[in-house]
Chains A and B, each alone.
Chain A
């Protein structure tokens, strides 16, 4: 199509759109889970629950310092360790130190996007450890040396024949594409890893300040094993993932599992609050909770974007977004893809760096409608574009496209003064003449506008604009009384 130089985002988007396998998966994903969630919200008995949970999420963000201190106090009182990590490196260093002290050779992981955000796997591997994902989807991604393309269903871009080939190659089984057989093969391989691991490394879906626990949801049981079998458990927690009370916890988890997988509750919800004790012998000898900032307090401090920290990472917005539904997750080039990724990635990792994520949506609003906690992602996307439009010291962002900014300055003059606007239209109408084709449409335009005409026709400016028609017909009367104009307008 167009010969313009393309960004990585556009290239990856096209790759996604060109893959029939991915298109089929995305289609069935959105059909099932996107539509399913919308139906679920519409039919839920408690129609106030989403608003209530959102309100509690926002309230808890206001009191984050107090809640986190409470959580830490309770975990420590049970003999657990709590470390507040300001950034990725700090979290990695702490975890490495724990691993070194415990002579860890094998780490089993529970699914954690935060672990990807801070890129801890490669740090552990470089320190000589084996790192094994135990969530089936993440395990497949790891075996394939690939990247996740959905925050809940990481290998949505792979079909079972591809997974069959992968297992044949990596696990040495006879080729099959039968899902139960593939699951059984993974299970067997993972059991061995889980039984012999020295450290479990997980994320944290939610933490509860009142009880001093973190909780993890899963459907495969891998989390329970990874958090109880190895002698050491390190949990990585984004500092915003906290609720005040168990009541809030119950409702928030219910929205999380509904949004993520249309489940009233996931198969497993694991609560972890410290190491094993003599009267509660199941669990690790050591428990470490690493509470990670890594750019979150900066978001917290900006009222315009604070709301994004209310996200519970259910992934529902991916399941409805028409852009994600075409391009898939890889184009976002981030652990967080889809609409939530388009907002959180630039905020965490640089607005200029991820300008395409800020601009690459239609602001249709479907993500806001489906979000269990009604996060206004389109509002924040527009906010991010504002930083790109004018630059922002606070966000260390420079003006993204000075030419575009200049164009809008001109536009502003034109739309603020109608004689200029009208003259401009007349000139444009003259200029367009050579471009109007046989079907009375414009087929080809140059420069930026070719973005439209590469794939679409454009109606030309009308021979008479509405304003001109009006002026001709109604110039005499200020207000048109009905009927007086009827025959004029049946033309």
Chain B
């Protein structure tokens, strides 16, 4: 096991709306014997501003993030798109500032998405979870397309006792979230998430999961509005389950 202490980078949406996802991460780390801390003062990685074009404002958030996380050993986050923001876009934001650019690169090199950290860095394929249910997995765009993380979560899910993973059609097609896109172009966004939900329902799985709470929030919000009977869980919550409880 790694001797390094993991610093939890809890995405703002997880912190504010889905704290159980953060708690589930802790449960998994406890079970695996991974030490962790939670650097105080964290807010938002800056992605909403960056994706809307407000790169200077995003840079302020990035600066704040770097200040807070600079002295950590390893940063692990339950969101692919936030990891991508830190790893790929922070260095871009400081392209004209050599000192900040180097700091951004250094932070990026030690920032990992949760499932990627478990599988690729710690070499863990089985976290000892027990979740007797049918589950389908949504590939979030930034996670799968940009970070290339698609096998790691599946490996972990396939090793969960009792869990049957049923692949949905077009699992790597965008759910239609897109940050402010979802609010600015709601009709298009909802049409996209509707197709995603139809593909989820077609698997007849009782739970849909993924590694990015933003996409899951979009899917959850529409599932509730449509009144569909499918549970939406972040992958950490499934990996945290160890008593065979259906959450």
Name A's B-contacting residues (CB within 8 A). Answer: 1-2, 10, 13-14, 17, 322-323, 326-327, 358-366, 368-369, 382, 384-390, 404-405, 408-409, 411-412, 414-418, 421, 425, 439, 441, 448-449, 451-452, 454-462, 464-467, 469-470, 474, 478-483, 485-486, 489-491
Contact = CB atoms under 8 A, between A and B. Distances in A.
Contact of B30 (A390, A408, A418, A482): A482
A359 B178 CA distance: 10
B14 A404 contact: no
A491 B24 CA distance: 10
A415 B177 contact: no
A456 B142 contact: no
Given A323-B192, A416-B63, A362 B181 contact: yes
A415 B64 contact: yes
Best-buried of B44, B64, B225 by chain A (most CB within 10 Å): B225
B67 to A, nearest CB: 9
Given A358-B53, A462-B16, 7 more contacts: A360-B185, A363-B181, A386-B53, A408-B49, A460-B17, A462-B17, A482-B29
B190 interface: yes
A211 to B, nearest CB: 38
Nearest to A462: B19
Interface of B: 5, 10, 14-19, 22-23, 26-27, 29-38, 40-44, 46, 48-57, 60-61, 63-64, 141-142, 145-146, 173-174, 176-193, 195, 217-218, 220-222, 224-225
A482 B176 contact: no
16 contacts: A359-B180, A359-B181, A361-B178, A404-B52, A408-B52, A409-B57, A411-B48, A418-B40, A418-B42, A451-B183, A452-B183, A457-B221, A459-B18, A466-B10, A482-B35, A490-B27
- If over half of A's interface residues share one DSSP class (helix, strand or loop), that class is named, otherwise mixed; here it is helix
Contacts of A360: 181, 184-185, 188
Given A13-B188, A416-B61, A364 B183 contact: no
A459 B220 contact: yes
Nearest to A419: B41
Contacts of A322: 173-174, 176, 192
B210 to A, nearest CB: 14
A9 to B, nearest CB: 8
Could you tell me the dominant secondary structure of chain B's interface residues?
Answer: helix
Given A326-B188, A389-B54, A451 B49 contact: no
Contacts of B217: 458-459
B15 A467 contact: yes
Given A452-B221, A469-B23, A365 B146 contact: yes
Most buried by A among B10, B16, B146: B16
Given A363-B51, A382-B51, A456 B174 contact: no
Contact of A458 (B34, B187, B221): B221
A385 B53 contact: yes
Nearest to A418: B41
A416 B43 CA distance: 8
Contacts of A481: 35
B186 A451 contact: yes
A351 B181 CA distance: 18
B145 A366 contact: yes
